[in-house]
Amino acid sequence: MASRMSSSAALKGKVALVTGGSSGLGRSIAQAYAQAGAYVVSADITAYPPHMPIFERRNRGIDLRTPTVELINSRWPSPKSGISRANFFKCDVSSEDDVARTVNHVVETYGRLDILANNAGIAIENIDRFRTGRVTRMHEMDTSILERIMAVNVRGAWLATKYAVKQFLSQSPHDSGDRGWIINTASILGAVGSAGSTCYCTSKGAVLQLTRATALEYAEDKIHVNAVLPGFTESYMLEAMYDKDVEEKLSQIISSQQPWATIGKPEDVASAFVFLAGDGARWVTGIGLPVDGGYLAR
């Protein structure tokens, strides 16, 4: 995974918190930040990535079985004695107490917080549609699915933003005057609809609006707030749809919908998170940046 990320010092010395950092996109974001010179706290409900057979079939299993922080500390060790490049903190982002403790842990460990990658998210509706050929529509769906998705994807993003901003405002700004960078993981399905994904689309539309409103609210404080809209990407969410009988069919269906005609890699999306946390995005706030192989250009 790291081979596709370019080495740089774009984020040298900055401290980043990545929610949902143990697997999928969050794992790639954490690695990209470390490679760009940042210190990273990976916050998730478990330090260990889930078992993903399809990645093993693609010869990527060794990295995926290693906890994110172990991977980072072995590849990009800290130049400071006694301080690790990365560490893990257990966090359920839907819990306000957990989120507050996580931000406190970041500051206690590294002295400040500069970047929040607000990435933790779930997609649990209709994950078997490619196995069964049937979509469960809204009127057939249990309301608990909506509540679970909104608790993580929206409440979690709002809480992490709240406590990150409080920390940004309490610490000294950078020499540039910038106080902090928040990058939210939205989705192309926050910008367009998808039948069978009403809960997920609703949640990611909310994340996009949270991004815009927060960017306006804290622009005077020089806090950058942006979102990345990933397209169909090799991630844990997409893995949930796969099994050996539908993998080829699903890949063909998704690739046919992409102008770039491929499914994205997590590291392709992670590069956008590095850009939005760096000097190249100094005058950028309040945007939703699609990284989707051209999907939204149709």
Catalytic positions: 200
Alpha-carbon separation of residue 97 from 155, 156, 159, 163, 270 (angstroms):
13, 11, 10, 10, 28
Are the CB atoms for 191 and 246 separated by under 8 Å?
no
* Contacts within 8 Å (CB) and 24+ apart, 293-297: 293/231, 293/232, 293/258, 293/259, 293/260, 293/261, 293/262, 293/264, 294/258, 294/259, 294/260, 295/188, 295/231, 295/232, 295/257, 295/258, 295/259, 296/188, 296/191, 296/192, 296/229, 296/231, 297/259
H-helix segments, the chain: 24-35, 53-57, 61-65, 68-75, 96-110, 129-132, 143-150, 156-170, 198-217, 236-239, 247-256, 266-276
Residues 152, 265: Cα–Cα separation, whole Å: 23
Structure tokens at 133: 């050929």
State the SS3 of 102-154. Answer: HHHHHHHHHCCCCEEEECCCCCCCCCCHHHHCCCCCHHHCCHHHHHHHHHHHH
Where b means 16+ CB within 10 Å and e means fewer, 260-287 reads eeebbbbbbbbbbbbbbbbeebeeebeb
